[in-house]
Amino acid sequence: MRPFEYVSPNTRTQAISLLGASWGNAEILAGGTDLLTLMKDDVVAPKRLINIKGIHDLHGVSSNAQGFHIGALTTLGDLADDATVRRNYPALAEALPEAASPQIRNLATLGGNLCQRPRCWYFRNGFGLLPKNETGKELAAGGENRYHAILGNEGPAKFVSPSTLVPILIAYGAKIRLEGPKGKREFPLEKFFVIPKNEGEREHDLRPNEIVTEVVIPPASDVRAAHYEIRQKEVFDWPLAVAGVALRMRGSNVKSARIVMGYVAPVPWPSPEAEQALMGQPINKDTAQRAAEAALTNAKPLSHNAYKVQLARVALRRAILKAASGGVS
């Protein structure tokens, strides 16, 4: 780890003023479960570390008519134990304890979870987010890409978006709130994730001097939702495919659907094709399968990850069936 300056502001305004106008100089430190690893491995080397944990109004959760507000510094552990989450957003409550390990969840914050960097092993070994070797050859496309993207991989970005919570959050219609020197921004969570085209660009729509302040999930009492993950190991393993599904029903047919895949693309991947396929349909094995197939029609696997197409399909099919049956696995 390289030497750095460490500051602990107490307000959002202070924190924002300490951030720089370009990437690379300053980093926000929340739980540190991701950032410290990146620093130890010399993948990122900020000159200034801004510990935001002293900013009180970024902690904790609250509810109002808009929905459920989650402060960026709320830990995944606290969220998993939260009664409102369990009651009103059972699919999120199911996804939380599947993420990482109890020790990590006790430190990891939701804001950090949304901003965590990709797990791509080329990136983590210092070859860049759009990994190239010294001669400029793209490494992931012709290399060890068994865990890489099968969708949205036309450009140089081949990594997959790492959060397992984001697909179900997007399916529930979550919004993200940011704050920077020019004020606040709010937009649907899926818009927060972008595919970088050049090295040096980030995978989030976050300006270098902005912080994530909260996530708002709208009320979901009429939603049937489910989260499904395929991992090789039983627990504490990076998944191979993730699906988040939220259905609104009219009688026994689908009125509207939100369907999002994770671990398939450099961004969380909503599938309007699958949503369309379910519209007006009852949920059964056949309709779920058709929706899953529609979602993967455009998949373009790399040299070693064709199997992920099948896994993404299965995760989606199982999530749809699980959602329809009330979210119980």
Binding site for ligand FAD (CB under 6 A): 27-35, 72, 99-100, 104, 107-109, 111-113, 115-116, 163-165, 211-212
Residues 91-130 that bind another protein (CB under 8 A): 119, 121-122, 124-125, 127
CB of 231 to another protein, least distance (A): 8
Distances (CA, A) of 22 to 44, 46, 55, 207, 320: 14, 11, 23, 8, 42
Binding partner of 67, given ligand FAD, another protein, none, CB within 5-8 angstroms per partner class: none
DSSP 224-250: EEEEEEE-SSSSSS--SEEEEEEEEEE
CB of 316 to another protein, least distance (A): 12
β 48-51/5-7 pair status: parallel
Tokens of 270: 């909503």
Check binding of 261 to another protein (CB under 8 A): no
Residue 244 forms beta bridges with which residues?
Answer: 227, 260
Binding partner of 19, given another protein, ligand FAD, none, CB within 5-8 angstroms per partner class: none
CB of 197 to ligand FAD, least distance (A): 20
Closest CA to 150 of 266, 275, 273: 266
Residues 212-251 that bind another protein (CB under 8 A): 230-238, 240
Binding partner of 235, given another protein, ligand FAD, none, CB within 5-8 angstroms per partner class: another protein
Binding partner of 194, given another protein, ligand FAD, none, CB within 5-8 angstroms per partner class: none
Residue among 63 and 325 whose Cβ is closer to another protein: 325
**How far is CA 186 from its chain centroid?**
17
Q: Which residue type, as a one-letter code, is found at position 93?
A: A
Check binding of 314 to another protein (CB under 8 A): yes
Using CA atoms, how far apart are residues 270 and 295, in angstroms rounded to an integer? 9
The residue within the footprint of another protein, chosen from 39, 70, 139, 215 (CB under 8 A), is: 139
CB of 301 to ligand FAD, least distance (A): 23
Check binding of 297 to another protein (CB under 8 A): no
**How far is CA 268 from its chain centroid?**
6
Do residues 265 and 256 touch, judged by C-beta distance below 8 A? no
Rg (CA), the chain: 19
Residue among 140 and 174 whose Cβ is closer to another protein: 140
